[in-house]
Amino acid sequence: MAPLPPAARPPRAELHVHLEGTLEPDLAFELAARNGVVLPYPDPESLRAAYEFEDLQSFLDLYTAGMSVLRTEADFADLTRAYLTRVARAGVRHAEISFDPQAHLVRGVPLDVVVGGIAGVLERSETELGISTLLIASFHRDRDSADALDVLERLLAMAAPIVGIGLDSAEAGYPPGRFEAVYARAAQAGLRRTAHAGEEGPAANIRDALDVLHAERIDHGISVVQDPDLVARVVAQQVPFTVCPVSNVRLRAVPSLAEHPLPAMIEAGMLVSINSDDPPYFNAYLDDVDDAVTAAYELTRDQRAALAAASFRGSFLAPDRVAGRL
Ligand code: ADE
Ligand code: ZN
């Protein structure tokens, strides 16, 4: 099936994208030059050529190394603006962007630099690019939960403009339950709660994210299909799942789109949205992911419209704002 022209793409929301994962090799080299950072590649093409992954960890290693060029408020602002400018062309009208505060704090980049740079662009995104935005602070599963709690308190103390929290990074060996207190504190502070679970790990991680963390939304969650009772539950409760099919193939969580559980999740009646995760690393922004999924599953125009509507339904927008987008 031929890719749809931009005008034919239904307006939609992107709910699962890591800001640090939107760093294009060209921008990485520009920021490296600006900040006097030496990248271990001669040019952007060589860096892009290194984007071949064996699993989540091999991606996380490169993703973390790439962040070394992000130092100043202007860097974070440029990164944010570049992503939003690109997805405006993909039909994205609402974006919920995650960032990894701990990844920057450990490099000595202060929280106000990170948040200030991102927020300055987000607050103008609706008027300048026609994209409403919400910001999510994601904590690292493979770090101590006390550190996450400390960073959360600092974000609250500085009144950072975040709508909610998430949990990301390595999954194998790091079940979500350890972050119960972090999620309880976020709930108490009125923050929304999502969590990566069931990307490389078992369905039990999704259960724990729901039962222990009381997560309202699940990022990835593809192993849910291993547990029919859990599928029935998330269908009944219409728990939003932000699925990233191209990412899952590129990180070899599944062998191919043809073998991806997305069609089964949709068929079961789950509230599923399609997302990019870390677009340049997987060579796929949201329009590319849409085209790949449309071709792989021969989706009809109505099915695409239903997925676009689900992206708003699964968002953290206030219900009246969701209704206005459907
Ligand atoms: N951080 C950025 N991308 C991620 C992914 N796919 N899974 C876990 N953490 C991530
Ligand atoms: Zn992710």
What's the total number of domains in the chain? 1
Print the domain residue range for 119. 11-314
Each residue's pLDDT, cut to its tens digit, for the chain (326 residues) gives 556 665 578 899 999 999 999 999 999 999 999 999 999 999 999 999 999 999 999 999 999 999 999 999 999 999 999 999 999 999 999 999 999 999 999 999 999 999 999 999 999 999 999 999 999 999 999 999 999 999 999 999 999 999 999 999 999 999 999 999 999 999 999 999 999 999 999 999 999 999 999 999 999 999 999 999 999 999 999 999 999 999 999 999 999 999 999 999 999 999 999 999 999 999 999 999 999 999 999 999 999 999 999 999 999 999 888 888 87
Q: Which of 218, 213, 165 is nearest to 190 (CA)?
A: 165
Flag whether 102 is in a domain.
Answer: yes
Helix (H, G, I), strand (E, B) or coil at 120: helix
Write out residues with Cβ below 6 Å of ligand 1. Answer: 18, 21, 56, 63, 168-169, 196, 199, 247, 277-278
Distance CA 224, CA 265 (A): 8
Secondary structure element (H or E) that encloses residue 280, with its range? helix 279-282
Average pLDDT of the chain, as a whole number? 96
Q: Find the CATH number of the domain harbouring 220.
A: 3.20.20.140
Flag whether 4 is in a domain.
Answer: no
Helix (H, G, I), strand (E, B) or coil at 286: helix
Q: Which ligand 1 atom minimizes the distance to the CA of 244?
A: 6
Flag whether 320 is in a domain.
Answer: no
Q: Which of 117, 127, 70 is nearest to 97 (CA)?
A: 117
Rounded to the nearest angstrom, the distance between the alpha carbon of 277 and the centre of ligand 2 is: 5
Q: Which of 112, 104, 227 is nearest to 159 (CA)?
A: 112
What per-residue confidence (pLDDT) applies to 323? Answer: 85
Flag whether 5 is in a domain.
Answer: no
Helix 111-122, helix 145-157: angle, nearest 10: 60
pTM greater than 0.90 (yes/no): yes
Flag whether 234 is in a domain.
Answer: yes
pLDDT digits 0-9 by tens, 32-59: 999 999 999 999 999 999 999 999 999 9
- Helical ranges in 135-261 per DSSP H: 145-157, 180-188, 203-211, 228-236, 245-250
Flag whether 323 is in a domain.
Answer: no
Helix 73-88, helix 111-122: angle, nearest 10: 30
pLDDT digits 0-9 by tens, 70-125: 999 999 999 999 999 999 999 999 999 999 999 999 999 999 999 999 999 999 99
Distance CA 64, CA 86 (A): 22
What per-residue confidence (pLDDT) applies to 6? Answer: 58
Q: Which ligand 1 atom minimizes the distance to the CA of 18?
A: 2
Question: Would you say the ipTM is above 0.90?
Answer: yes
Pocket test for ligand 1, best of 248, 278, 281 (most atoms within 8 A of CB): 278
Flag whether 322 is in a domain.
Answer: no
Flag whether 326 is in a domain.
Answer: no
